[in-house]
Structure 1
């Protein structure tokens, strides 16, 4: 695999020193960006970090610091259609994908890049939100990791029955009329943190972390995307429905879910974790959607638990 240097916005990443970013190509010809960091001394292994929808590498600079401090190298990816990866529509604002399984092409490219970079093994997975959906599919299809941790995984979207029925109807109509590239109803072209004040936000209870995210996009607006396209919504509903019928892999797993998370389905997460061999669900009291970006004490506890899981699986 050919890798070439890519930009890494160290001015806003809050990441440890020594990180490097690269461009890489997927098998269907799209350009993605990855970045990786190494700990001081011998690494215990490498964490493949799968971000959520709207996210980008720099958002996980602090997580890279938490992981390298615990002895793990870290690799983060910009998925197709977001961050600095190739966008899929002439309008770069909607989060879009043609088919949800296309993200597995991105996963395959990440695995090839990690091998090309000779990142230390064993490898592990941390996956957040949409990355949790992508990550679960990847695990089922044989992602070569020793253990996995999920944060607010999108194993179903939090929708009422009426909302779900409406979503299926409107996405079907949009496909019929050739409007699937349009933003989903009720969403905006700007990134969530750019239009939503800290008060009432659904991501984190920590005002400093929320300002950190806002400042990143103020400095580098090209990293951000807005709401999902109707096509993305249709594909997400279809993929989560397919995954609901798939058994969980026989792999050590720890899943974190904030009890105040209103973005993903708690029922879907609890149902899967009840039947996950070697799996455990950790409910974070009053946590919102981004447990990895809550207050310092919550983050320390979360990364300590993740490190213990990975150490035991090594």
Structure 2
């Protein structure tokens, strides 16, 4: 592993991560970040971010987990952050095949082994990272427990039926337009925090967290992406449908869902939680999509449930 850059806002109290370049077996260069625990660690968290995200966004999350005694490792998925973009236009979130994200997971696990991250390992997956994480558990990800925040086990399409959206994405691909950003896919030519107002945003009620995201996006525009490509939308919907048919892994799991969630499917999360042995659904009244970056009271509800799961309670 070769050292990679890691950004930090001026005046930020967060401890910077050790960042490294990885390379997937298909040649895509990836960036990973490791936040080591300063004391004797009780384990490690494999942190799977969501769509549009980059490892710097999780500095506050890593700091909380470090304080609780966990090492943390996270990744920029292919097509976002500092990892290789997959088409000439870097702005749309894009992927060739959704299964390609599992190539990234493999490299993250290899990096965790090479860094000798303390065991046991645990999975923490947010949004798209929850979708990738469930597929990784199916493939045997070596973790003891799993915690999901608003996982993308289904997508809230609002005005469109899933079949119609999948068909539109397929047609766009056939017409050679699959790499273009799909309308209404969560970001314009810029990126969501810069395109949306605080009062209308679907992520958080916390003005300080929103301000931190704005500062990051303005300071590091090359890390951000805009809306999802037609190809990404079609592949994501197909992956959600595939995952809905697999049995739940025999791993203790907690999943959080905010009552004001409008990005992922409530029903898909409820259905999965109801059929997961040793699974718990943590409903958080008043929370939006980014519960780990919500107001302090809502954030603490999530952390209590997550830390109890990691500790085996």
Q: Which residue of 1 aligns with 2:46?
A: 48
Check the 8 A contact 2:284/2:301 in 1, yes or no: no
State the distance in 2 between where 1:267 and 1:62 align.
30
Give 1:303 shift.
1.8
Q: Which residue of 2 aligns with 1:231?
A: 231
Give 1:134 shift.
0.1
CA spacing shift, 1:225–1:284, aligned 2, 3 Å: same
Q: Which residue of 1 aligns with 2:3?
A: 5
Q: Which residue of 1 aligns with 2:111?
A: 113
**Count of paired positions:** 311
Q: Per-residue displacement from partner, 1:180-218 (whole Å, max 9, x unpaired)?
A: 011102342211001001011100011110111010011
Query: Is structure 2 residue 138 aligned with structure 1 residue 145?
Result: no
Q: Which residue of 2 aligns with 1:96?
A: 94
Note the 1:199-278 alignment, pairs <5 A. 199-278=199-278
The structure 1 segments of at least 4 consecutive aligned residues displaced by more than 3 Å after TM superposition are 12-16, 160-163
Runs of 5+ in structure 2 lacking a partner? none
Q: Secondary structure at the match of 2:135?
A: helix
Q: Which residue of 1 aligns with 2:133?
A: 135
Q: Secondary structure at the match of 1:155?
A: coil
State the distance in 2 between where 1:200 and 1:189 align.
18
State the distance in 2 between where 1:12 and 1:194 align.
19
State the distance in 2 between where 1:269 and 1:173 align.
29
User: What is the root-mean-square deviation in Å for CA atoms of aligned residues?
Assistant: 1.4
Q: What TM-score do the two structures reach when normalised by structure 2?
A: 0.96
Check the 8 A contact 2:6/2:16 in 1, yes or no: no
CA spacing shift, 1:261–1:109, aligned 2, 3 Å: same
Moved more, 196-205 or 33-42: 33-42
State the distance in 2 between where 1:91 and 1:13 align.
33
Q: Which residue of 2 aligns with 1:192?
A: 192
State the distance in 2 between where 1:86 and 1:281 align.
35
Q: What TM-score do the two structures reach when normalised by structure 1?
A: 0.96
Check the 8 A contact 2:18/2:33 in 1, yes or no: yes
Runs of 5+ in structure 1 lacking a partner? none
Q: Which residue of 1 aligns with 2:154?
A: 156
CA spacing shift, 1:145–1:178, aligned 2, 3 Å: same
Q: Per-residue displacement from partner, 1:276-305 (whole Å, max 9, x unpaired)?
A: 001000011010011111012222332232
Alignment match of 1:33 (pick from 31, 34, 47): 31
State the distance in 2 between where 1:124 and 1:140 align.
15
Check the 8 A contact 1:19/1:36 in 2, yes or no: yes
Give 1:40 shift.
2.2
Q: Per-residue displacement from partner, 1:132-163 (whole Å, max 9, x unpaired)?
A: 00000000110000000000000000124744
Check the 8 A contact 1:13/1:216 in 2, yes or no: no
State the distance in 1 between where 2:2 and 2:10 align.
22
